[in-house]
C-alpha cells in the first residue's frame, strides 16, 4: 500500500486528439510537492477535485477561474494506478487527449518518469459509514472496508447485454487500465449533433454495432466494456484527492453519480477519516 504522498520523478510530455473537441492537445507533466493534482491552462490553476466538477455529459469536466478541462477521468485513473498523489499538468487545449481510449499510455508515461516520495501522509480516505446515491435505476454506494473493493454492473442491448465484474486487487488490475471507452453505434449521430465526439474513431473507442463489435480487432478483453466503466469510476473517485478505502457497488453509474457520491461522502465529516 502507498503510505506517503508522491509525485513524478521527472518532467514528461504527451500529445493527442481530444475525443469530444477533435483538437490536438499537448500535456506537460511537472513534479509538485503540494498535495493534489492540478491542471494549468492559460496561467490559471484548475484543481482536479470533485468540487470543481461541472459538466458530466459523457466525461468529467473541471473548471476554475473561467477555465475548464474536460475528459480527465482516464488520466486521473492512471494517476491512481501509478500511485501519484501530486502533479501539475500544463495543458494547451480544452480536453485531455483520448489516446487509445484507455489509461494505458498515461500510465506508461508515469511509470517511465518514476515516482518520488515525500514524508507527508494524508493519502487515504477511509469510509466510516455507508453512503449511497441514485438516479432512476442507476446507483452507486460505498460501505466501510479496509481496502478498495469494486463491483460494477452494466446493462446495454446485445451484443453487450448485462455484465458484472468485481475487482478486489484494484491497484494491480492491469486489465482495467487497458480497457477502452465505448459507444453504441446508433448513439454516435446524436452525440455529434450536440458538438461532442468530434475526435472519436475506431482507433480510440470501441463501437458496438447492432450485432457485433465494429472494431477490426474486436475487444481486448471479454469484459472490456464493464472494465472501462470501472476505470471511469476509479478516475472519478480519485478527484476526491485521496485513495478511497471502502466496498463500492455500482449499477449503471456514470460521471454524474460518481461525482454525487463524493459530494455526499464529504457532506458529513462523520462519513470518513483521512490518514
Instruction: Clarify whether 255 is annotated catalytic.
Output: yes
C-alpha cell at position 253: 453509474
SS3 118: coil
Give dist(CA 79, CA 270) in Å, integer: 27
DSSP code, position 165: E
CA distances from 48 to 34, 101, 112, 153 (A): 13, 20, 22, 26
Element (H, E) at 266: helix 255-266
User: Coil, strand, or helix at residue 75?
Assistant: helix
User: What is the C-alpha to C-alpha distance for residues 193 and 183, in angstroms, rounded to an integer?
Assistant: 15
Tell me the catalytic residues: 255
Amino acid at each position: 500500500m502507498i503510505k506517503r504522498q508522491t509525485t513524478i520523478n521527472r518532467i514528461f510530455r504527451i500529445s493527442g486528439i481530444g475525443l469530444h473537441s477533435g483538437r490536438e492537445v499537448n500535456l506537460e507533466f511537472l513534479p509538485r510537492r503540494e498535495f493534489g493534482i492540478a491542471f494549468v491552462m492559460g496561467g490559471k490553476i484548475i484543481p482536479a477535485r470533485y468540487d470543481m466538477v461541472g459538466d458530466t455529459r459523457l466525461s468529467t469536466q473541471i473548471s476554475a477561474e473561467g477555465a475548464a478541462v474536460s475528459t480527465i477521468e482516464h488520466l486521473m485513473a492512471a494517476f491512481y494506478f501509478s500511485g501519484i498523489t501530486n502533479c501539475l499538468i500544463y495543458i494547451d487545449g480544452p480536453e485531455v487527449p483520448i489516446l487509445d481510449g484507455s489509461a494505458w499510455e498515461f500510465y506508461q508515461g508515469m511509470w517511465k518518469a518514476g515516482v518520488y516520495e515525500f514524508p507527508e501522509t494524508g493519502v487515504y480516505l477511509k469510509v466510516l459509514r455507508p453512503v449511497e446515491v441514485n438516479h432512476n435505476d442507476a446507483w452507486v454506494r460505498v460501505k466501510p472496508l479496509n481496502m478498495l473493493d469494486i463491483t460494477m454492473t452494466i446493462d446495454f442491448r446485445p451484443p453487450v447485454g448485462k455484465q458484472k465484474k468485481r475487482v478486489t486487487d484494484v491497484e494491480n488490475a492491469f486489465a482495467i487500465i487497458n480497457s477502452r471507452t465505448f459507444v453504441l453505434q446508433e448513439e454516435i449521430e446524436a452525440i455529434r449533433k450536440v458538438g461532442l465526439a468530434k475526435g472519436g474513431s475506431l482507433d480510440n473507442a470501441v463501437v458496438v454495432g447492432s450485432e457485433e463489435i465494429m472494431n477490426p480487432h474486436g475487444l481486448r478483453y471479454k469484459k472490456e466494456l464493464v472494465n472501462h466503466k470501472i476505470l471511469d469510476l476509479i478516475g472519478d473517485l480519485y478527484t476526491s484527492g485521496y485513495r478511497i478505502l471502502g466496498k463500492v457497488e455500482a449499477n449503471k453509474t456514470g460521471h454524474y453519480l460518481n461525482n454525487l457520491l463524493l459530494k455526499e461522502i464529504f457532506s458529513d465529516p462523520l462519513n470518513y477519516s483521512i490518514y
